[in-house]
Structure formats: C-alpha cells, structure tokens
Amino acid sequence: MTAEFDKHAASYDGGLDNPIKRMMGDSADQFIAVKARWLLRREPGLRTGGLAMLDYGCGAGDLMRVLAGMGTKASFTGCDVSAGMLGEVGRRWPKAYGTAPATAVQEGALTPFADGQFDVATISAVLHHVPVEERAAVYAELGRVVKPGGRIYVFEHNPRNPLVRYVIARTPIDENAILLDAREVHEGLLGAARYELETDYLMFMPPGLAFLSPIDRVLAWLPLGAQYAVAARKPA
C-alpha cells in the first residue's frame, strides 16, 4: 500500500481523474468540505483552539488544510504509511495558514504517538484501502492515541450507493479498494473498546452545489448517501 500511494502522491487530486466525480464537483476540496463542515458541527471546539487533532492516514493533508481554511485553530498532526504523501502536506499548505501540521510515518497500522495524546482523531477514506485482516489493528491504534472521553470520526464511501461503486471501480487510486459499510465500522470499533457510536450519511447532493447542502442534514438518517460518518466517543 505504501508504494501504491507513493506513486500517486505528486499528482493526487482526490480522485477527480474520474469524469463522473468531476460532474459532482469542480475540486476535491468541495468533497472534503462536506466532511469538514459536518465535523465542525460535531466539534465546535476545533474552531477556537485548545484541541489536539490527529488525521490518521492523512495523505497530502487535505482534510486538515480545508479545516484550516474554514478558520479552525486546532493543533493538527497527520500520519500516513506513505512518505511520498506526507511530503505533499507541507508543499500544499498555504503560507497564510501558518505552520504546516506535524507529520509522522506509520509502520503499518502503528503510529509513534503516545497513549491518549489526542482529543480528536479522524480517519477519512482510508479503511477501504486497508486489507480486511488488518483493520482491527487500525481501530485499536485509533483507540490508543485518543484520550479517555476523546472522539474518533470515521468517514468512508458508502457501498450501498450504486454510483459510489461505479466511481470507485473506475478510479486509479482505488484500484485495490475493498469498500465497507457502517455496520462493519461499528463492529470493528466495538471490538476495540466500548464506544458510544452514532452514524450519519452524507453527500446526497453534489458537493459542487453547496446551496443544496441543507438537504444532506435532513436525510442524514438514510443509508444511501455517497459517504457516511461514524462518530465514536471513547469511555472516560
């Protein structure tokens, strides 16, 4: 997986080499912004600072960058198995946003961080790239690095959406993807700790049509959105 992502690092554009995805939004940031807005509704403290956030499998740092562009003042850290992708974090980070996030290379599922180092951990569109037999180690590592009472947010493609399946099957960076539904995420997290879990479904409307975004909030219960978000609160 490391070599697979290293080869895509310099040209990574969030899968917009797929023409169907380009019809839904003009840039990868529009897709990421849907998740960022949802996260900020759940974690308003990210706007004011004082929270340490880890983006696990951060790739080129796009989620952190979009959050920073929305005025977020969290202390960001990113990690990834691909050193090539991590090299893009600083290169793509606008100077106007201040110092780029700290980054660290993962050793498989493992990170070099201390137990309970972060208030919030995100993992966005990563698990479908992780072999099924290795996912339990990812859930365990996420649980290890968040504080008691900390929160984990899992964003993933929804395999119940037929358009998602069509796009993923035709996107080069997803050539080895194995999609997973929200129930598998619930089971995986609960295999690691007794989390409080909630799930919302996202991206019913094209991200490029931001004025339709309120519809997403109305339909968040319906398991047909292009993405889903699982929120997990670690026991205090």
199-217, pLDDT tens digit by residue?
999 999 888 777 788 899 9
DSSP secondary structure of 139-191? HHHHHHHEEEEEEEEEEEE-TTSHHHHHHHTT-GGGTT-----HHHHHHHHHT
pLDDT at 18 over 60: no
Placement of tokens 């080869």 in the chain: 7
Tokens for 155, please give them: 């964003």
pLDDT of 81 > 60? The answer is: yes
| Percent helix, strand and coil across the chain, each to the nearest 5 | 40, 20, 40
Mean pLDDT in the chain?
90
Domain count, the chain: 1
Domain range for 173 is 2-233
| pLDDT tens column, 166-183 | 989 888 888 889 999 999
pLDDT at 184 over 60: yes
Is residue 42 within 8 A of residue 90, CB to CB? The reply is: no
Which pTM value belongs to this model? 0.90
Contact call for residues 16 and 27 (beta carbons, < 8 A)? yes
120-172 pLDDT, tens per residue? 999 999 999 999 999 999 999 999 999 999 999 999 999 999 999 998 988 88
DSSP string, 69-81: HTT---EEEEEES
CATH number of the domain residue 16 falls in: 3.40.50.150
Rounded distance between C-alpha atoms, residue 179 and residue 88, angstroms: 26
Handedness of CA 30, 35, 41, 43 (dihedral sign): negative
Query: What are the tens digits of pLDDT across the range 25-63?
Result: 467 899 999 999 999 999 999 999 899 999 999 999 999
